Amino acid sequence: MKKLVIQDNSTIRKKVYTYVREQILSGQIAPNERLIETKIAQEIGTSRTPVREALHNLEIEGLIRSIPRVGYQVKAISESEVEETCAIRSVIECLAAQWAMERASAKIIRELKKNIAATAERVSRGEVRAFIDLDAQFHEIIARGSGSTRLLELSQTLRGHMLRYRVQSIFSEDAVLTALKGHEGILKAIEKKDPQKVTEAIQVHLEESKKNILRYAIKK
């Protein structure tokens, strides 16, 4: 774990929480890995108190679990958890897309086209890792276009969990190309302003994402 530099003591708790959370979601801290307060505090250069609070909040969030006389451990990825997250994300993103089409479909279409073009270009150059940020941007364009702050927050949270699940599959070129095809399908449905087609395209896209997670991250 790389050292975290914290200069503003008034936000130290939030920064430690955010830092450890991102390490887990990105796969830098692997499933089943132990989290020891003292070690983490030393590595990121802070006291144990904010680390203890961060770990407690991460346990509430469901990313880690407490083991008596051992400490905390990153929860392993389970098939049921993947199924649940994908199902919830499908509902939220379909609703976001419906609202987005009603509000500003022309603007959203322009932004989605630009995102897809950038993704295709980066992937063609072998920059598969770039898909992580571009994928997040694609879905955020739709969520933000819905005009709902709550929907945007929920969408971002669920995508964060999905990234944790997909950390082992997202760098597969086949998986990325499949996801890009899914983005293109969503865009075409939005262009047609067909609510049913949009819902179907999003559901197909997330179903493919789920299959890749089960194939690569859980080895199903």
d(CA 163, CA 196): 27
Nearest to 143 by CA among 156, 132, 162, 161: 156
Angle between helical axes of 48-61 and 37-44 (0-180°, round to 10): 120
Nearest to 176 by CA among 136, 216, 123: 123
pLDDT at 170: 64
pLDDT at 180: 94
Alpha-carbon Rg for the chain, nearest whole angstrom, is 19
Q: How sure is the predictor about 25, in pLDDT bands with cuts at 50, 70 and 90?
A: confident
122-137 pLDDT, tens per residue?
989 988 878 888 998 9
Q: How sure is the predictor about 10, in pLDDT bands with cuts at 50, 70 and 90?
A: very low
pTM of the model: 0.75
**Mean pLDDT score, 157-182:** 79
The sign one gets for the Cα dihedral 184, 187, 193, 198 is: positive
What single-letter amino acid sits at 46?
Answer: T
